[in-house]
């Protein structure tokens, strides 16, 4: 299995397609599997064709059918709940995803390696649930503030975080020459971040999770006016890959901050990490 990691610096990105996979083939068989291997069944074959497509509802119907047919738990139940969790997670139905990850975690306890990934998936999904609540609260607060706020001073605007596309003097990545023009500094930074991600991102995670095909994790972060990497978020279709993307971006070196109107400012960046398993 060969993993390829590609990184592009972008300010506008698109949402990723679904790619949900089972954890691994069973090392033991459930009661029904004595006469029938679930992975060789027609229903599972139909489900596999939908994995990697946006047909979430159809895939969930087949997954529910398989959960009913193989209701005695074991490895099949663990893998099916993991798939259902991924499907709901990709659909952004995080509470339902969490319920299935929890079910898979119970059934997967004792399986070396698998349990840790299920634990991460469940914890990451709970984090998403909390973030949705926080964002809803923030949105309500902003709407209330906007109703009474008529203008913002130039000084306040100059100190606000700025998108990388409109910064007057771009920030400087570690090892880049600050005397160079903005275009050269942007190229140097893009090369530096790409190299860092290729060297730091754990590509073996795809093998451990038994993932296939193309995966995209959309990452956003801020380089604060102190030069530190802050506010790192990731949006993908697999919580373990999101966690690894966040860990990788957080490990970026400190940089020389961007300048706006002669003052250091925080700069907002967005980039997709494209992860291909062949």
Domain ranges in the chain are 19-128, 154-277
Q: How confident is the model at residue 24 (pLDDT cuts 50, 70, 90)?
A: very low
Only one residue has tokens 């997670």, namely 89
CATH architecture type of domain 19-128: Alpha Horseshoe (1.25)
Start-to-end Cα distance in the chain: 6
What per-residue string of b and e applies to 8-44 under the rule 16 or more CB within 10 Å gives b? ebeeeeeebebbbbbbbebeeebebbeeeebeebeeb
Q: How confident is the model at residue 94 (pLDDT cuts 50, 70, 90)?
A: confident
Question: Which of 193, 190, 171, 195 minimizes the C-alpha distance to 182?
Answer: 171
Angle at 11 between CA 155 and CA 130, to 5 degrees: 85
Q: Per residue, what are the HEC states of 106-130?
A: HHHCCCCCHHHHHHHHHHHHHHHHH
- Higher pLDDT residue, 225 or 206? 225
Mean pLDDT check: name the lowest of 71-80, 223-232, 255-264: 71-80
Quick: pLDDT tens for 143-201.
Answer: 655 554 543 433 344 444 554 555 678 888 888 888 888 888 888 988 999 999 999 99
Q: What is the CATH number of domain 154-277?
A: 3.30.2420.10
Predicted TM-score of the model (pTM) = 0.55
Reported as type and span, the H/E element at residue 93 is none
Only one residue has tokens 């003052």, namely 263
Count of beta carbons in the 10 Å neighbourhood of residue 67 = 18
For residues 186 and 163, is the Cβ–Cβ distance under 8 A? no
For residues 206 and 3, is the Cβ–Cβ distance under 8 A? yes
By CB atoms closer than 10 A (0-12, 13-18, 19+), residue 69 is: middle
Torsional sign, CA 223, 226, 228, 230: negative
């Amino acid at each position: 299995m060969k993993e390829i990691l590609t990184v592009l610096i972008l300010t506008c990105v698109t949402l990723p397609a679904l790619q949900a996979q089972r954890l691994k083939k069973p090392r033991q068989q459930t009661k029904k599997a004595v006469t029938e291997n679930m992975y060789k069944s027609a229903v599972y074959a139909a489900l596999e064709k939908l994995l990697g497509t946006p047909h979430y509802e159809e895939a969930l119907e087949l997954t529910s059918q398989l959960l009913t047919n193989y209701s005695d738990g074991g490895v099949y139940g663990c893998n099916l709940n993991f798939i259902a969790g991924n499907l709901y997670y990709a659909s952004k139905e995080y509470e339902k995803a969490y319920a299935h990850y929890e079910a898979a975690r119970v059934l997967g306890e004792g399986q070396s390696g698998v349990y840790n990934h299920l634990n991460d998936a469940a914890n990451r999904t709970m984090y998403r649930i909390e973030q949705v609540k926080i964002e809803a609260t923030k949105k309500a607060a902003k709407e209330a503030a906007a109703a009474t706020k008529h203008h913002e001073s130039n000084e306040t605007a100059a100190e606000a975080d700025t998108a990388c596309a409109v910064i007057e003097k771009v920030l400087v990545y570690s090892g880049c020459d600050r005397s160079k023009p903005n275009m050269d500094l942007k190229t140097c930074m893009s090369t530096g971040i790409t190299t860092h991600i290729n060297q730091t991102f754990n590509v073996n995670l795809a093998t451990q999770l038994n993932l296939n095909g193309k995966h995209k994790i959309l990452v956003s972060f801020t380089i604060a006016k102190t030069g530190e990497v802050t506010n790192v978020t990731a949006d993908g279709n697999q919580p373990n890959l999101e966690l690894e993307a966040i860990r990788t971006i957080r490990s970026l070196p400190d940089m020389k901050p961007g300048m706006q109107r002669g003052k250091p400012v925080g700069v907002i960046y967005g980039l997709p990490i494209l992860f291909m398993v062949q």
